[in-house]
Amino acid sequence: MLQEFNQLMDYIESHLTEDISGEDISKIVGLSDYHFKRMFSYMAGMSLNEYIKNRRLSVANVELINGAKVTDIAYKFGYQSIEGFSRAFREWSGFLPSEVTKNKIQKSFPKFTFYIDIRGGISMEFKIEKKEKFNIVGVSKRVPIQFEGVNNAILELAQTITDQQRNEMHQLADLYPHQVLNVSYDFDDGYLEEKGYLTHMIGFATTQDNPFDDLEQITIEENLWAIFPNQGPFPSTFQETHTKIYSEWLPSSGYEVLDIPSISFTKFNGPSDNVYSEIWMPVKKKS
């Protein structure tokens, strides 16, 4: 996986003045464009689009110092106007392109190289489990994408659940873990910049079809799942585990994540500094 990541960095470097499509990315790294970008953001601490923009501006900085005209550089790196390029360059470097040309100010943003960094010797607990086709029955809404802290929109969704809906869900809940599941899917394209929305469902796993008009149902086909138990302060431990799945486990696991709803649950039956959760990621073996 790391080899493919570095091949992509080389590809980006030689195509900085061109459009880089999701199809190009998928072909090189062997993952869907969506899942690679998600993994990249966890490993690199920024989105792939931000990385590409920073590399373009870094190279533009060098060319401006070497005497290139601002107009030529702006259009070379895909900006529709000099104003747009100047604004982006100033946000990145703190200087206008004309100031760089005059005063030879240089700011750099080096090309990324991925490598294995072994530290701490801390292992991640997980298991791979095949689950038969099942349904999740509950309530859902579009909520803002949020990486850290408590998502208030999800709390508000939970508070809208009526006693009748709660009783109906419990009647259908005949599969592990026999308690509330949080299910996320249909992410907007702005996911990696923590922008936009996703669909969040609160419900229960069941083998039954939903007979109730006030509940919704999604069906999860038979699939492999990577299951990550975690225990500690909530939600920080849960969110740290989610980050490690993408930044540490997935690149060396031999698996790739599928475009199927991801699932988690949390047992709030003890102190807040020792909460048990599980994260279920739908996966398949890399071919």
The model's pTM: 0.66
Enumerate helices (H) and strands (E) in the chain, giving the number of each: 11, 9
CA dihedral 112, 115, 117, 118 (to 10 degrees): 160
**What confidence score (pLDDT) does residue 192 get?**
52
**What confidence score (pLDDT) does residue 69 get?**
93
| CA–CA gap between residue 25 and residue 257 (Å, rounded) | 16
| CA–CA gap between residue 136 and residue 99 (Å, rounded) | 58
Look at residues 211, 227, 52, 49 and name the one whose alpha carbon lies nearest to residue 128: 227
pLDDT higher than threshold 80 for residue 1: no
Domain locations in the chain as residue ranges:
2-103, 127-285
Handedness of CA 207, 209, 211, 216 (dihedral sign): positive
| CA–CA gap between residue 112 and residue 73 (Å, rounded) | 23
CATH class of segment(s) 127-285: alpha beta
Lowest mean pLDDT segment, chosen from 10-24, 157-171, 206-220: 10-24
Averaged over 267-282, what is the pLDDT?
88
- Cβ atoms < 10 Å from Cβ of 39: 22
| CA–CA gap between residue 265 and residue 12 (Å, rounded) | 38
Residue 255 to residues 11, 29, 44, 97, 203, Cα–Cα distance (Å) = 23, 13, 20, 44, 27
Give the CATH H-level superfamily of domain 2-103. Answer: Homeodomain-like (1.10.10.60)
- Cβ atoms < 10 Å from Cβ of 18: 11
